[in-house]
Amino acid sequence: MFTSSGPTLRELAVQALSSVERGYDLLAPKFDETPFRTPGRFLDPFVAAVRPLGPFGTGLDVCTGTGAGVGVLRRLCEERVVGVDFSGGMLDRARAAHAPGPDPAAAPAVEWVRADARALPFAAGFDLAVSFGAFGHFLPEERPALFAGVCRALRPGGVFAFPLPAPPPVGSLPYWTLWGFDAAMRVRNAVWRPPFVMYYRTFPLGPVRADLERAGFAVELRALEELGRRPDGSPNCRLVVARRRG
């Protein structure tokens, strides 16, 4: 939910009529007061599930936003953590939120890089990459470049991990809410420039897994049991573990 400190309807409208980069620059000061931020309930189960896959020296948070993933990586990595985003405004907020404490040596060093996730400027430098809540900003045809860049950024055997919530049941209120949001965004992008790419129903597990495998990953799925299961027994959220081959 939005808090009283969150953006006004006018501010949200201006953001929605901007480009993705400009929109997030505008939203950045109030982003953490919106429901768009990564829910904290995902983070502890994610850390618990990923930790046994390590140890990890270096970590990369892809599309870091205000730095939720950097906070996760600081709990999992021993040496160095990098947050990358193409919004300067979001990076400013992340940098402020994760400023070094009184004893910088007590935690891994943190760096911030402004770059487009579709053209990551890294090569074989990381043991672990994560991403939270950003995949709706990439059209299906952009996923191969995104995943290939993450794969290049990892050392052989490195892990790309992210949570993937189950889609809402067909016909449920959440299903129609997301369907309506995506339909509205498609209309907006058909009649207004620049486009604002944000869709909730363009990241299905099957095609995503296939794109990861083509990019050079071996993919494993794990249930995040702490987040519960649906009435049919399937998990509410899966952990996608994509390990760089070679």
Q: Which residues pair with 18 in a beta bridge?
A: none
pTM of the model: 0.91
Nearest CA to 26 out of 34, 18, 36 is that of: 18
Q: Which residues pair with 220 in a beta bridge?
A: 241
Distance CA 235, CA 220 (A): 15
Type of residue numbered 92: D
The CATH number of the structural domain formed by 38-167+204-244 is 3.40.50.150
**Mean pLDDT of all residues in 191-220:** 94
Report phi then psi at 184, rounded to 5. -65, -40
Sequence-separated (6 or more) residues with CB below 8 Å from residue 195? 19, 20, 189
For residues 130 and 59, is the Cβ–Cβ distance under 8 A? yes
* Strand ordering across the sheet containing 56-62: 109-114, 77-85, 56-62, 126-130, 154-165, 237-244, 217-223
Please write the tens of the pLDDT for every residue from 44-72. Answer: 999 999 999 999 999 999 999 999 999 99
**Domain-wise residue ranges, the chain:** 1-36, 38-167+204-244
Nearest CA to 141 out of 50, 203, 52, 78 is that of: 203
Lowest-pLDDT choice from 76-80, 102-106, 162-166, 202-206: 102-106
Can you list the positions of beta strands (E) in 27-141? 56-62, 77-85, 109-114, 126-130
